[in-house]
Structure 1
Amino acid sequence: MAEVAKPVHTTAYKPHPTEKMKAALWMGSKTIELGEVPKPTITAPKDAIVHITHCTICGSDLHMYDGALNKVMEKGLIMGHEAIGIVEEVGPEVKNLKAGDRVVIMPVIACGECFYCKRKEFSLCDKTNPSKELQQMYGHRLSGIFGYSMITGGYPGDQAEYCRVPNADLTCVKAPKNVAAKKLVGLADVTPTAWHGCELAEVGEGDVVGVWGCGAVGLSIQRLAKYRGARRVYAVDKDAHRLSIAKSFDMIPINVEEHPDPARQILSLEPHGLDRGIEASGFRSTNTVTHATMRALGAEGDSSDTASAVIKATRKGGNVALIGDFFFETNDFPIGMLMEKAITLRGGQLYAEKYFPFLVDIVADGKYDPSFMFTHEDKFENIAQSYDAFYNHKMPGGLKVCLATAFGRAQA
């Protein structure tokens, strides 16, 4: 029997003895504070210190913001896993990066050496997450992730002026200096997550695809499905503004407010069903009183409303991918429909490092532009207000904000 790789705890945060930096700190439910903390230093020989120029807030950051993960959070954790910057310093075993390189920081922290990393399934890495709680929950650990609770390793995130990046040769991707910052920040998480959704669903030439969710990830999945040759793409959401964005990209909008049973509506237009269905709305999406009540009573952590609709709308023998961040458990999952229709169901966090440099290349070559997702720009110092606006659906333009640090603004 092959030996299971032993987890390596590499989350150590060695503070600089004198220098300070600004960082977005989780201080409790709906409370993000811009605090001043010690600047990180090299802790391990494969580390790099990256001076952040731009970052953003992910929809999954809101899981921590609204209190859903309070039990696995610690006050003062630096948030964030979507950022770009300039390498300031590298450890003695970093081979491919040097000071002055512009980089995109991947959200997933992988070792590159374990069973899963050798298969390029980087978010399943055995070595970079010391969380015993996650192993008890799932039977296994997953990879470490920047700024994403203690069950993903407790790594300080990159919504900060500096970030220590473990295993930097794998976790950082060199970026051309002539590519706009918003395009590169869009490559940190959203674009590879969207590509991962298309990969899991096996989206290909001539497919009819349905995507539940028209946030930044859902819209990106839709656009990349078209890039991969999809014939028609349905966009499912409750938000009329986001649906209008989908329509502007030539998607077919399905408004759940007008069609409470979106699967029935899609099947009325596509009797054969979708070839590929992708859930990208997140675990908070509830469309029925039943699931809303169960969640309110604590009888389930996630809702299967959207997953059930995706499975129903997908043709026999088709593929379904779960990209929305489901964490816990649900009720009334249609296991019979899934089995009897011979549908392949896949999910998982993105294998970020697997999709580079391909994604950088198509952006640099002008074949795909991810900057559409940033409907607002602001100073990093206003990140607490940006969390509030994002959570309360008051973000200007309705999607994401690109935040520039003082260092980033000076580079412009």
Structure 2
Amino acid sequence: MKAAQWMGPKDIQLGTVPKPMLTAPKDAIVHITHCTICGSDLHMYNPDMKMAMEKGLILGHEAIGIVEEIGPEVKNLKPGDRVIILPVIACGDCFYCKNKEYSLCDKTNPSQDMEQLYGHRLSGIFGYSMLTGGYPGDQAEWCRVPNADLVCVKAPKNVPAKKLLGLCDVTPTAWHGNELAEVRKGDVVGVWGCGAVGLSIQRLALFRGAKKVYAIDKDPQRLALAEKYGSIPVDVSAHKNVADYILGIESHGLDRGIEASGFRSTNSVAHKVMRGIFIEGDSSDTVSAIIKATRKGGNIALIGDFFFTTNQFPIGALMEKAITLRGGQLYAQKYFPYLLDITVNNEYDPSFMFTHEDNFESISENYAKFNTHEVPGGLKVCLITEFGRTHPTE
């Protein structure tokens, strides 16, 4: 089968690899129809995560498809079912899964490196480095899905593919950001980042009843999209200090601040230099601005992927202002069937994030375009496999 393989930094190749087989009784084999590239895939595409990569690893954790084969212990799926493959591989039985904290699963990630780094292992994730288990991803023509009853969401065949593809990761991640920040009706919310996840957080914050949502970014095209969808755009490049600017128009500050730009986002010379000479893994530029701009007693959520350590973190302001700071990978399974229901009922449409469409075979070129914000329309590409092109479902 064809699959997108990591061969080194900025080197994603469409290779030919063996088709996966059932290896455990709860597995399913899914024939992929559509997949996409995530902003967090760029951590592997760029050198940020090269120490945790293995040459040849199949990337990707956002895909939909048709179930082709199931193991003897799969109860809720059958061949021919259309499914959303969730990115988080959870067991369903451990302490964390029973508390619906699926990305904290104890049993699906064998990485001793992660355990040594953090003190604990988190869940397995498709195509997301050896730190998260080294699972082959779903930027491929087929994917083996462990614990398929929990990791797949059965979906109607008459729903447009882009809506379902948007539900794989981006929409539940955005909902998770709102949950961590405890966004409520009447809140004033600030979201740093206007990529697909940031824009989805903004739209879902308004969906939940937020009074105002500020969209903070420096990409004019993405800021225009944020304004189109109801947010108040704030151009980082136009303001020397974004936190001071926000406090100048919101005297109490933000009720909820959400970081969705990622650890690679740097604004100050100090952090650019520290990252450049490898004395810092993650930058605290945006987090520092969020802490300053958030009101006393407010909430902050970290959704951008932070992995390592940072310098000049304003721990004093965080503590003295009594701010609650939370982060973590999405509890994907927890938010279904609710997110599917509001999509099927046309209360929310996640397909907006796909501003371009292409054949899966062009994935290498699309990685390069995505990395430099050159995807037509400015957001994500929907990649269609040969099977998806010849077997349309909607």
TM-score, normalising length: structure 2: 0.99
Structure 1 residue 88 displacement after superposition: 0.2
2:319 is the counterpart of 1:339: yes
Is contact 1:275-1:318 (8 Å) kept?
yes
2:159 is the counterpart of 1:176: no
Alignment correspondent of 2:383 = 403
Alignment correspondent of 2:9 = 29
Q: In structure 2, the residue corresponding to 1:385 is in which secondary structure?
A: helix
Q: Map Cα deviations across residues 133-178 of structure 1 (whole Å, 9 max, x no partner).
A: 0000000000000000001000000000000000000000001111
2:7 is the counterpart of 1:42: no
For residues 93-132 of structure 1, what are the structure 2 equivalents within 5 Å? 93-132=73-112
Q: How many residue pairs end up in the alignment?
A: 392
Q: Map Cα deviations across residues 85-132 of structure 1 (whole Å, 9 max, x no partner).
A: 000000000000000000000000000000000000000000000000
Letter in 2 for 1:356: F
Cα distance in 2 for partners of 1:284, 1:72 equals 17
Cα distance in 2 for partners of 1:180, 1:269 equals 41
Letter in 2 for 1:305: D
For residues 57-68 of structure 1, what are the structure 2 equivalents within 5 Å? 57-68=37-48
Q: Map Cα deviations across residues 357-392 of structure 1 (whole Å, 9 max, x no partner).
A: 100000000000011100000000000000011112
Cα distance in 1 for partners of 2:182, 2:162 equals 28
**Among residues 285, 301, 306, which one is paired with 1:326 in the alignment?**
306
Q: Map Cα deviations across residues 269-311 of structure 1 (whole Å, 9 max, x no partner).
A: 1001100000000110001000000000111000000001111
Cα distance in 1 for partners of 2:8, 2:217 equals 30
Cα distance in 2 for partners of 1:393, 1:362 equals 30
**Among residues 119, 128, 135, which one is paired with 1:148 in the alignment?**
128
Structure 1 residue 401 displacement after superposition: 0.1
Cα distance in 1 for partners of 2:117, 2:223 equals 36
Alignment correspondent of 2:344 = 364
**Among residues 351, 365, 371, which one is paired with 1:391 in the alignment?**
371
Cα distance in 1 for partners of 2:227, 2:374 equals 21
For residues 7-406 of structure 1, what are the structure 2 equivalents within 5 Å? 21-406=1-386
Cα distance in 1 for partners of 2:348, 2:228 equals 16
Structure 1 residue 411 displacement after superposition: 2.0
Letter in 1 for 2:231: M
Letter in 2 for 1:282: G
Q: In structure 2, the residue corresponding to 1:28 is in which secondary structure?
A: coil
Q: In structure 1, the residue corresponding to 2:267 is in which secondary structure?
A: coil
Cα distance in 2 for partners of 1:240, 1:259 equals 14
TM-score, normalising length: structure 1: 0.95
Letter in 1 for 2:210: A
Is contact 1:260-1:287 (8 Å) kept?
no
Identity %: 74
Cα distance in 1 for partners of 2:239, 2:313 equals 21
Letter in 2 for 1:40: P
Q: In structure 2, the residue corresponding to 1:275 is in which secondary structure?
A: strand
Q: In structure 2, the residue corresponding to 1:77 is in which secondary structure?
A: coil
Structure 1 residue 67 displacement after superposition: 1.4
Is contact 1:110-1:127 (8 Å) kept?
yes
Cα distance in 1 for partners of 2:391, 2:186 equals 43
Q: Map Cα deviations across residues 35-75 of structure 1 (whole Å, 9 max, x no partner).
A: 11000010000000000000000000000001111111111
Q: In structure 1, the residue corresponding to 2:313 is in which secondary structure?
A: coil
Q: In structure 2, the residue corresponding to 1:276 is in which secondary structure?
A: strand
Q: Map Cα deviations across residues 162-209 of structure 1 (whole Å, 9 max, x no partner).
A: 000000000000011111000000000000000000000000110000
Q: Map Cα deviations across residues 309-351 of structure 1 (whole Å, 9 max, x no partner).
A: 1111100000000000000000000000000000000000000
Cα distance in 2 for partners of 1:65, 1:290 equals 25
Q: Could you list the structure 1 runs, at least 4 aligned residues long, displaced by more than 4 angstroms after superposition.
A: none
Alignment correspondent of 1:10 = none
Letter in 1 for 2:289: A
Q: In structure 1, the residue corresponding to 2:183 is in which secondary structure?
A: coil
Cα distance in 2 for partners of 1:177, 1:360 equals 13
